[in-house]
Copies of this chain bind each other. A is one copy, B any other.
Amino acid sequence: MTAEIVSVGTELLLGQTVDTNAAELGRKLAALGIVHRRRQTVGDNLERAAEAIREALFRADTVFTIGGLGPTQDDLTRDAIALALGVSLVHDPEIEAHLRAMFERRRIPWTDSQTRQAQRPEGSQPVANPNGTAPGLICERDGKRVIALPGPPNEFGPMVEGPVGGYLAALTGGMALHSRVVRVCGMGESMVERTIRDLVDGENPTVAPYAKLGEVHLRVSTMASDGDTAASVLDPVVATIRERLGNHVYGFDDQPLESAVIGLLRDRKQTLAVAESVTGGGLGGRLTSVEGSSAAFVGGVIAYQAQIKEQLLGVSRELLDAHGTVSEACAVAMAEGAHERFATDFALGITGNAGPTVDAAGTRVGTVFIALASFEGTQVVEHEFTGQRGAVRSKASQSALTMLWFALNR
């Protein structure tokens, strides 16, 4: 089975949007063992989109389109597919009824342009889109097929992983790439690679390291006809990696660090609070992105201005005057204040300067203090992060989670 992708959208050509969807679909096709040799990107232009689809369909037996399924005049992908396949567009009353009901629930007035989304090439099947209005489409014809996917990533991703992924798996039904990702924190990429060099040099499974923000992911992959066969190749190597890297391995596959931390806290029936200054709520945001986090994460204080540090965390005015808000002492007092007030097992305190400039006290951009308070006492670490405001803040959250991870695994 061979596939091609046609991404549709002038914003892609103009570089206003980076085509992450195509990369995601590429990974999905690789995982399913579907050969994918070419991708085209065209603007919101009916003739060029239809031509690209026609050419792709000539070379491959499955063509994916991405984008151009919305309600506006320049959403032309439905028309382009119909033109390329030589069929007409038909109005689907079921899709319209579904859309109208959705609009009513959301109390959004119905406009006639929405009916565009209820059109589909004759002979096609709609694919449910629980996260948006435009359905996907599967258009089969002469043993080949065009699969139309929506452009917004929050609609695209679930459709590829869900119904379209299932449809493709049923089509291929054989060999596929099976992968496991081993997620590593608190160790740099070159150190990780040095520790498992022999495995990276191996051929089956392949082991590929990827450096991420504050962590390293190791993708361990093999081609196999089924999960059991794959596991017999992957599991021993994953076990060896785990043995060599120890507690630096915090999770597998799609599990982010915040989820591993929450999971461990929940298992132990322990609780966590945060006192955030430089991250401004971002750490709480990450922790609460985990389903079921409320069992372990009680909440915290966004102590952005100094007065809040005093008022809600009991950081004393004398301490602030003597050490400043970006200091080891302040981070410790924030963590201990949260630990005491929220009566949790652990509390993290973060203060620092994310820029853009050296602060009034002369603290450099990137200086961040992170303290972890528990019943065993309080530890604190000073970091000097590089990068701009967003990078400094992300690295601060990541380091706080890493610190807690190692404390939980001591």
A297 interface contact, C-beta 8 A: yes
How far is it, in angstroms, between the C-alpha of A341 and the C-alpha of B307 when the chains are bound? 11
Contacts of A43 in B (CB 8 A): 37
Q: Work out how many copies of this chain go into the complex.
A: 2
Interchain CB contact under 8 A, B15 and A27: yes
Contact assessment for B308 and A304 in the assembled complex, using a CB-CB cutoff below 8 Å: no
What residues of chain B lie closer than 8 Å to A190, measured between beta carbons?
Answer: 71-72, 111, 113-114
Determine the distance from Cα of A361 to Cα of B88 in the docked complex, in whole angstroms: 49
A293-340 contacts to B (CB < 8 Å): 293-294, 297-305, 307-308, 311-312
A15 contacts which of B30, B71, B341, B355 (Cβ < 8 Å)? Answer: B30
Q: How far is the CA of A305 from the CA of B272 in the complex (A)?
A: 11
- What residues of chain B lie closer than 8 Å to A154, measured between beta carbons? 213, 387-388, 390-391
Listed in ascending order, the chain A residues whose CB lies under 8 Å from chain B are 10-20, 22-28, 30, 36-43, 45, 48, 52, 70-74, 102, 105-106, 108-109, 111, 113-114, 130-132, 152, 154, 158, 188-191, 193-194, 200, 208-211, 213, 219, 274, 276, 278-285, 287-289, 291, 293-294, 297-305, 307-308, 311-312, 341-342, 355-356, 384, 386-391, 393
**Inter-chain pairs besides A15-B23, A15-B28, A288-B302, 5 sampled, C-beta below 8 Å:** A11-B208, A13-B37, A18-B18, A19-B22, A39-B40
